[in-house]
Structure 1
Amino acid sequence: MESTDAAGKLRRVLRRLNIGTALAVLATATLTAGAASADTAHRSDRGRLVSVQHVTTLAAKEDAAAALAAAGYDGSAVRFGVDAYRLVYRTVDPGGRPTTASGLLVLPRGGDHELRTVSFTHGTASYRPDAPSSMVKVGFVSSPAVTYASAGFAAVAPDYLGLGTGPGLHPWMDVPSETTASLDMLRAARAFVPRTGRALGHDVLVTGFSQGASAAMGLARALQAGDDRWFRLEAVAPVSGAYDFRHAELPALLDGSLDPKSSVLYAAYLLVAWNRLHHLYDSPDEVFRAPYSSTVEALFDGAHTGPQLFAGTPDAIDALLTPHGFEMLRNPTGRLAEALRVADSTCDWAPRVPVRLYAADADEQAADANTDHCEAALRSHGVDVAVVDLGAPDFAGSRHLGSNVAGTAAVVRWFGQLR
């Protein structure tokens, strides 16, 4: 009752004041409203559309199939042309403060009025324009969304925080913020789709690749927990995830079992991004060797391209990490251990929907043990999870990247069968 009365008084005051004075009153009211009121406002604002930009149209199914083929993807599931949009929406940062993020929405040019939704969360990127919503043409990152939409689904692909048009730096492998950004992207898509004459149904099929596999599991868990009143989880199908960084990915990365250059980039990204979140070190020279200690943090500012990252980092992890850096990753303690516990908990629950884990043989970037550990964790909760072996797919000489191509083709077929 008190908050309702206060809000009414504030509205009456604002009507009598000029704009400048009104803003001052509003700012004062906001500062004194209390943390509970602020949190409520932030929650109610999450997923609200800020802007929409039409990105591209592939008018006919032949156009969509040709675009996917040119990007190296399988177009056999294509049934429709597609329209693609960049959505900018309100969400929260890792500290729960209001921010914005962007994402790609792709809709079929045909099919049902009420669309089933596929959420696809993408793999690792550090350069802002490499995010899905920045697509100029159909490419590696945007092809999964085009695949799902051209098969008749509404495809929702969040950029995450700090990528695309989102402000700030990207908090890599931060599952809580990946989850909120993904859930709020679904809400933004639901708000926009009626403008196209369609609607989003309740069911969400969740998938993601690499970094996005953990993000997918985080989103799936949030949906099952009822974090949104409209959407409900229908199935989960992550591809080639690093589900257990502490006990699977980091040991393989440090002992040379994985591709050396990828290991360098992932180790650097983890330490830089998580230091921003969790304060793991005071100075970069504690964990990075010279000359990289003076340059590596700047490489992950969202403005450096993939080739610049490759050129600015060594080819072997021994040349990157100090003995202390090695020890931190080999035997995590304190803040790092706690952050890893959170990141590695994405399979530690019991989905009540069909679950499939997709993985390639001898993946050179995501250690095979990641999928094994995820399967074991899910089975420990009584989940009848299926592991789908994608074999040895190749894309640009990489089985890891190839698993995104092969996994997308397999997942879209499976999602189509679930109806």
Structure 2
Amino acid sequence: MTFKHYILALIVCFICKFFSSPLQAQILSVKIQTQDHQAVKLNWLDSDSSFTYAVEYRDSLEEDDWKLLPRTGGWPARIFTFEDTLKEGTGSRFYRVIASSMTQDADRGKLISWELVDELSAFQLNFGLALSGIDSFIAEQGVKIYKLTYETIDVHGRVTIASGQVAFPENKNQALPLASYQHGTVINTEEVPSRFSFSNQESIVAPIMASNGYIGIAPDYLGLGDSSGLHPFILAKPTATSVVDMTRAAKSLAQKEDYILSGKLFLFGYSEGGYATMVTHREMERHHAGEFSVTASAPMAGPYNVSGILIDTMLGDRSYSNPFHLTYLILSYHDAYGLFENASEIFSKNYSPRVEDYLSGVSSFESLSSGLPKIPLQMLNPDFVEEFSGNPTHSFRLLLQQNDISQWAPQAPIRLIHCSGDFTIPFENSQLVFNHIKKMGIDQVELINPSTTGDHSQCILPSLGRAKELFDAMKE
């Protein structure tokens, strides 16, 4: 494991000086966020998502050893702020923040297990689609649907497993492109593509693509399906790594089943899946260009501007169709970064006990999401809302900014698809990305509005149709 060292010295909690190790590759900015006679709150941020941290102290420069500050849950931790409660009579105190690499040796994308879930003829698949109310797609051939598990890394860089679905067409006589579909937000860990069912529309997408001459891929993501822990909701790096590694595993299974790959790769997804599609497209082009060549992507109705449009929509004073998304977002970021020591720092006095019960394992995620106010703002501590809303450099907003995907330069063609009548994930998310890409002089970008009246849930099928239309024109 690789270590980086950063030192912050605080003299009588008023004078601070920053020292850096000669081995460090970048500067970690450590600040005193608040201080008084009872406590000192440290805050630090960096642009790297692969480190955990520990805070050490000593009360004299003559002391030989640094000591770890006490913390519930221990160190290291994926946090960016920590408060040291001072005992009466504490004089000078010196602090340092030590960052350590989270990355462990992992055989990322290694295919661990696979099982045949279902085998359907074209007639059976079309009949199931009709019963599911999906009459805009036609199956042209039969399919085999597999559930697989694979090795990847979790939000803290630890080796773990995840699951997903791969659907193969019955015809093996030609080279086939890959089409990876990233699903939308779910709370129930079993409502994922690997649990194929005609009652679960998003588990049908990969089989539809397979029946039309693709190898259909559909990752479950971390924290869902066979993957343990909390799902990292709208977190760029762990979302992208889970999809990248799923694609690797799917390619391995295709080879075992004697399918020939054409080398073409299409990415698409809706809602959270639109976000997952875009961060995966960026991840593949930036970090895996020698392994993957994205042919085209179609992110649909995704929350790309996390720190602005998404959070401001959730914190509005009107009802929101999915109020639990705000809790989901905060808890996911807390799991990744450590936002609070006590839930009452962020959540209201009525809701924070429920959050604490969930975090301590007393209650389930499903029970936490039930019976919520239609206006998500009512779940939060008013002091937190005031501080967050009035401070553009609030630590939580800075973390959200690190996970924005609204400004980047894709190399492969990208078709943004979003209904302008969407109030859950506003159309402005896609408009912002489109405008940025066009300003960079990139012409291989489209913004498609399938409906001016359809809301978020009503726009899934027409959006899928427009994505498949693009891929079909490019797959040969």
TM-score by length of 1: 0.82
What residue in structure 1 maps to residue 291 of structure 2?
230
After superposition, give the CA deviation of every residue in 1:261-312 in whole Å (9 maximum; x if it has no partner): 41x21111111111111122221112222332111465698x9576x45533
C-alpha deviations, 1:17-74, integer Å up to 9, x for none?
Answer: xxxxxxxxxxxxxxxxxx99x96842xx11001111211121x222222222322324
| 1:125 aligns with one of 170, 179, 186 | 186
SS class of match (2:327):
helix
Q: Which residue of 1 aligns with 2:71?
A: none
One of 235, 244, 248 as aligned partner of 1:187: 248
Match of 1:282 in 2: 341
What residue is the counterpart of 2:92 in the other structure? none
- Give the residue type in structure 1 aligned to 2:466: A
Alignment identity in percent? 27
Matched, 1:53 2:109: no
Picking from 213, 227, 249, the partner of 2:274 is: 213
Q: Which runs of 5+ in 1 are unaligned?
A: 1-34
In structure 2, the residue matched to 1:97 is: 158
> RCO higher in 1 or 2 (8 Å CA, sep ≥ 6)?
1
2:414 — aligned with what?
Answer: 355
Question: Contact conserved, 1:364 with 1:400, CA < 8 A, in 2?
Answer: yes
Contact 2:196 2:203 in 1 (8 A): yes
Alpha-carbon spacing, 1:299–1:401, altered in 2? closer, same or farther (3 Å): farther
Per-residue deviation, 1:320: 1.1
Instruction: Mark the CA change 1:226 to 1:255 in structure 2 (over 3 Å): closer, same or farther.
Output: closer
Counterpart CA distance in 1 for 2:312 and 2:105 is 43
Query: In structure 2, what is the Cα distance between the partners aligned to 1:418 and 1:77?
Result: 19
Show the counterpart of 1:252: 313
**Which residue of structure 2 aligns with residue 387 of structure 1?**
447
Aligned equivalents of 1:202, 1:299: Cα separation in 2: 44
What pairs with 1:10-409 in structure 2 (closer than 5 Å)?
Answer: 41-42=105-106, 45-58=107-120, 60-110=121-171, 112-137=173-198, 139-227=200-288, 229-256=290-317, 259-262=319-322, 264-296=323-355, 304=364, 308=367, 311-327=370-386, 330=389, 331=391, 333-344=393-404, 346-384=405-443, 385-392=445-452, 399-409=455-465
* Cα gap change, 1:298 to 1:328, in 2 (>3 Å): farther
C-alpha deviations, 1:155-203, integer Å up to 9, x for none?
A: 1111111100012221111110111100000100111112222133322
Q: Secondary structure at the match of 1:220?
A: helix
- Per residue, is there more helix in 1 or in 2? 1
- Does the 8 Å contact 1:147/1:412 carry over to 2? no
Q: How many residues align?
A: 372
Residue pair 1:111, 1:152 contacting (<8 A) in 2 also: no
Q: Distance in 2 between matches of 1:309 and 1:69?
A: 35
Q: In the aligned structure 2, how far is the partner of 1:112 from the partner of 1:297?
A: 56
**Secondary structure at 1:361's aligned position in 2?**
coil
Decide whether aligned partners of structure 1 residues 304 and 78 sit closer, same or farther in structure 2, where only a CA change above 3 A counts: farther
CA-to-aligned-CA distance 1:372-418 (integer Å, 9 cap, x gap):
11112222322222111110575xxxx21222222112211221011
Q: Give the conservation status (yes or no) of the 8 Å contact 1:92–1:98.
A: yes
- 3-state SS, counterpart of residue 129 of structure 1: coil
Mapped partners of 1:151, 1:173: distance in 2: 30
Q: Which moved more, 1:321-330 or 1:335-344?
A: 321-330
Residues 320, 41 of structure 1: CA spacing in aligned structure 2 closer, same or farther, 3 A cutoff? closer
Structure 2 vs 1, CA of residues 155 and 341 (structure 1 numbering), >3 Å: closer, same or farther?
same
3-state SS in 2 of match to 1:102: strand
**Alpha-carbon shift at residue 97 of structure 1 (Å):** 1.7
Cα distance, 1:75–1:109 mapped onto 2, change above 3 Å:
farther
Q: Give the deviation of 1:109 after TM superposition.
A: 1.7
Structure with more strand by fraction:
2
Deviations 1:222-274 (A, max 9, x none): 222351643211001010010102221222222246x5241x21111111111
d(CA) in 2 for partners of 1:366, 1:382? 26
Q: Which has the larger radius of gyration?
A: 2
Give the superposition deviation at 1:350. Answer: 1.7
Q: Write the distance in 2 (CA, Å) between the matches of 1:222 and 1:286.
A: 34
Cα 1:298/1:189, change in 2 over 3 Å: farther
Q: Is the Cα–Cα contact under 8 Å of residues 204 and 234 in structure 1 kept in the other structure?
A: yes
Instruction: Confirm or deny: 8 A CA contact 1:126 1:304 kept in the other structure.
Output: no
Question: 1:418 is matched with which residue?
Answer: 474
Residues 226 and 333 of structure 1: is their aligned pair in 2 closer, same or farther, counting only changes over 3 Å?
closer
Residue identity in the other structure for 2:346: V
**How far apart, CA to CA, are the structure 1 residues paired with 2:317 and 2:171?**
49
SS in 2 for 1:273: helix
**Secondary structure at 1:202 match in 2:** strand
CA distance in 1, matches of 2:166, 2:308: 35
Amino acid corresponding to residue 46 of structure 1 in structure 2: R
Q: CA deviation at 1:334?
A: 4.5
What is the alpha-carbon distance in structure 1 between the residues aligned to residue 403 and residue 103 of structure 2?
A: 24
CA 1:171–1:226 in 2, change beyond 3 Å: closer, same or farther?
A: closer
In structure 1, the residue matched to 2:74 is none
**Cα offset, 1:80, TM superposition:** 1.5
Structure 1 CA distance for aligned equivalents of residues 173 and 123 of structure 2: 19
Give the secondary-structure state (helix, strand or coil) at the position aligned to 1:238.
strand
TM-score (norm 2): 0.72
